[in-house]
Amino acid sequence: MSNGAEAPLDDFVRELVRADAASGRFGGRVQTRFPPEPNGYLHIGHAKAITLDFELANEFGGVCNLRFDDTNPDTEDTAFVDGIIEDLEWLGYQPNGEPLYASDYFEQLYTWAEHLISQGLAYVDDQDAETISQQRGGFGQPGIESPFRSRTVDENLELFRNMRDGKYEEGSRVLRAKIDMQHENMQLRDPVMYRIRHEPHHRTGNRWHIYPTYDWAHGQSDAIEGVTHSLCTLEFDSHRPLYDWYLSHLPLPGDTPRQTEFARLELTHTVTSKRRLATLVNDGIVDGWDDPRMPTLRGLRRRGYPAAAIRDFCSFIGVSRANSRHQIELLESFVRQHLNATAQRKMAVLDPLRLVITNWPEGQVDEVEVVNNPENSDDGNRLVPFSGELFIEHDDFRADPPPKYFRLTPGREVRLRGAYFVTCTGFDVDEAGKPTTVYATYDPATRGGNAPDGRKVKSTMHWVSAQHAVTGSAALYERLFAAEVPGTETGDPMDDLDPNSVSVLEGCMFEPSMGELEPGEVVQFERLGYFAHDPRTRLLFHRTVGLRDEWARIQQRG
């Protein structure tokens, strides 16, 4: 497969960066930053931004900072900081130096705010949020200037210092930029720069009583760090004039960074909004941020998605300004591509049916050799015990086979992988007519899985020796959201949650070598799919993704 090999290494962002380099802007330097707010864990959407930020810097010989945009003490937490650092490292990216924090720049931002006040470009407004909002006007409607807009510099300075010193109640005053209350872009109608919060901050504690807003903090943080290209998602498009306005009125230490927006990543059958993901966790709909159904990095990791597959996917889909939603199947194809090449093969029977070899010598145990990964001969072979009493998959036996059914059925000969040809001679059923035991004879001449006389079989099946099996469980996952685009019908994505998105099979029978799998290891259960060993619970496996299944498609078509 070649879809991961040739990622499109060109797009409008790279073109723009190249043009900047050619024109000598930033002295040919390229520096980016990944700026998460520590109020949740990273998800697949962040992976796209991370890949862009880091790969771009790398391609142009620059660096990428990790900067926590921690300007809102209400929602942020050090647990998220740690989690984000961990997830970024797992994804495979090394930030430039230590993690940085917008909160480290609070002092500088404060100084610059006083600078704007002194220039008559910012003022303290004593009105409440609702009044300010109303005065902002609406689309196509004029705004109304605040009665406090024309305060003197000295008065503003004094009030602002009192704000900093915690002398006022939350919500009683804000600092606003004095721009234009009639501007057609709402972002420029005197935006709020500082609000009063007496909440302790996860890093600065109780040192500050005022906190900068995103807009006031972001571009300035970029400038302080020497970021050249500040990449963000499309919804900040209308903020760019404000980003530029702040920067243009400040005595910056270096070059003025440039903001560029790109379309965020959306995937079918899932949501990537921190708010909604938090709801899934807090309402107990999933087991936590690392539930294997979650599109979070830690969820995908627990599900068994290789980091390299996620990176390749993100590079492959490229970057544009068109809002779009990728099919989850594309991501899965990258996962299969990586896992096919790397995952060790194991025999696991998820829905066991007893198979008795009637002509097997009483008590004999054979050790048969099977390959660990046909895609990589370096992975070698292993020995698996075979005996007269085995488990096979319920799906692999039919008393009354439908058309095109190649598996075991009365009178038919099939191969047990790496072992022998067996021919079904009979079967028992329970009261409901469900098979309970299948009987077969084996051909000793076919040991190893080939007939000396050259006869062929239509099917090769996996199996586990009953007396040697280790037992465990397997969690099978469906899409968390049944609809391609959650919320299309009712407007609320939560209405499209599939209540049966997970089913856990107990009493699965695994070949003995699976007792030694490492926590988190991902293997292929032959003919079934890729499964990830749970990091905490031994012999619990999460189905990462199934194999392509032609038989399933034949059945679906009827």
Partner RNA sequence: UGGGGUGUGGUGUAAUUGGCAACACAGCAGUUUCUGGUUCUGCUAUUCGGGGUUCGAGUCCCUGCACCCCAACCA
Annotated catalytic residues are 37, 264, 274
Binding flag, residue 171, RNA (CB under 7 A): yes
One residue of 12, 359, 361, 383 binding RNA per CB under 7 A: 12
Q: Is there a contact between 206 and 234 (Cβ–Cβ < 8 Å)? A: no
What's the number of CA atoms in the CB half-sphere (13 Å) around residue 536? Answer: 3
Question: Smallest distance, Å, CB 515 to RNA?
Answer: 21
Instruction: Write out the binding residues for RNA, residues 246-265 only, by CB under 7 A.
Output: 263
- Give the per-residue contact string, 305-324, with RNA (x = CB under 7 A; - = no): -----------xxxxxxxxx
Binding flag, residue 450, RNA (CB under 7 A): yes
Binding flag, residue 11, RNA (CB under 7 A): yes
Instruction: Write out the binding residues for RNA, residues 378-407 only, by CB under 7 A.
Output: 404-407
Amino acid at 118: S
Pick the closer one to RNA by CB: 291 or 532: 532
Tell me the C-alpha distance between 305 and 473, whole Å: 19
DSSP class of 8: -
Pick the closer one to RNA by CB: 26 or 34: 34
Tokens for 278, please give them: 């938090």
Binding flag, residue 184, RNA (CB under 7 A): yes
Binding flag, residue 513, RNA (CB under 7 A): no
Picking from 417, 433, 546, 538, the residue whose alpha carbon sits closest to that of residue 479 is 546
Strands 174-177 and 122-125: antiparallel
DSSP class of 43: B
Question: Smallest distance, Å, CB 301 to RNA?
Answer: 22
Could you give the maximum distance between any two Cα atoms of the chain, in Å? 102
Tell me the C-alpha distance between 143 and 154, whole Å: 26
Q: Is there a contact between 356 and 389 (Cβ–Cβ < 8 Å)? A: yes
Calculate the alpha carbon distances from 163 to 75, 151, 211, 263, 494 in Å.
21, 16, 10, 38, 41
Binding flag, residue 340, RNA (CB under 7 A): yes
Interface region with RNA, contact rule CB under 7 A, candidates 55-63, 165-173, 296-304, 469-477: 165-173
Residue 252: its H or E element: none
Binding flag, residue 279, RNA (CB under 7 A): no
Question: Smallest distance, Å, CB 499 to RNA?
Answer: 25
Instruction: Write out the binding residues for RNA, residues 67-86 only, by CB under 7 A.
Output: 69, 71-72, 74-75
Binding flag, residue 148, RNA (CB under 7 A): no
Question: Smallest distance, Å, CB 494 to RNA?
Answer: 17
One residue of 27, 138, 251, 411 binding RNA per CB under 7 A: 138
Instruction: Write out the binding residues for RNA, residues 188-227 only, by CB under 7 A.
Output: 191-192, 195-196, 211-215, 217-218
Tell me the C-alpha distance between 88 and 160, whole Å: 38
Pick the closer one to RNA by CB: 228 or 315: 315
Question: Smallest distance, Å, CB 41 to RNA?
Answer: 14
Q: Is there a contact between 541 and 534 (Cβ–Cβ < 8 Å)? A: yes
- Give the per-residue contact string, 341-380, with RNA (x = CB under 7 A; - = no): ----x---------------------------xxx-----
Interface region with RNA, contact rule CB under 7 A, candidates 136-144, 148-156, 299-307, 432-440: 136-144
> Please, which residues have CB within 8 angstroms of residue 190's CB and are 6 or more apart in sequence?
125, 136, 143, 145, 146, 149, 176, 177, 178, 179, 180, 181
DSSP class per residue in 338-384: HHHHHPEEE-EESSEEEEEETTS-TT--EEEEEES-TT-GGG-EEEE
Pick the closer one to RNA by CB: 221 or 228: 221
Pick the closer one to RNA by CB: 87 or 526: 526
Pick the closer one to RNA by CB: 69 or 413: 69
One residue of 92, 99, 385, 449 binding RNA per CB under 7 A: 449
Number of chain residues interacting with RNA (CB under 7 A): 100
Tell me the C-alpha distance between 121 and 254, whole Å: 21
Pick the closer one to RNA by CB: 54 or 530: 530
Question: Smallest distance, Å, CB 431 to RNA?
Answer: 27
Q: Position of tokens 């704000």?
A: 163
Binding flag, residue 453, RNA (CB under 7 A): no
Question: Smallest distance, Å, CB 132 to RNA?
Answer: 5
Q: Is there a contact between 301 and 312 (Cβ–Cβ < 8 Å)? A: no
Reduced to 3 states, what is the DSSP secondary structure of residue 219? helix
Picking from 355, 350, 362, 359, the residue whose alpha carbon sits closest to that of residue 428 is 355
Pick the closer one to RNA by CB: 407 or 543: 407
> Please, which residues have CB within 8 angstroms of residue 21's CB and are 6 or more apart in sequence?
28, 30, 60
Binding flag, residue 140, RNA (CB under 7 A): yes
Binding flag, residue 336, RNA (CB under 7 A): yes
Picking from 56, 73, 74, 66, the residue whose alpha carbon sits closest to that of residue 35 is 66
Binding flag, residue 283, RNA (CB under 7 A): no
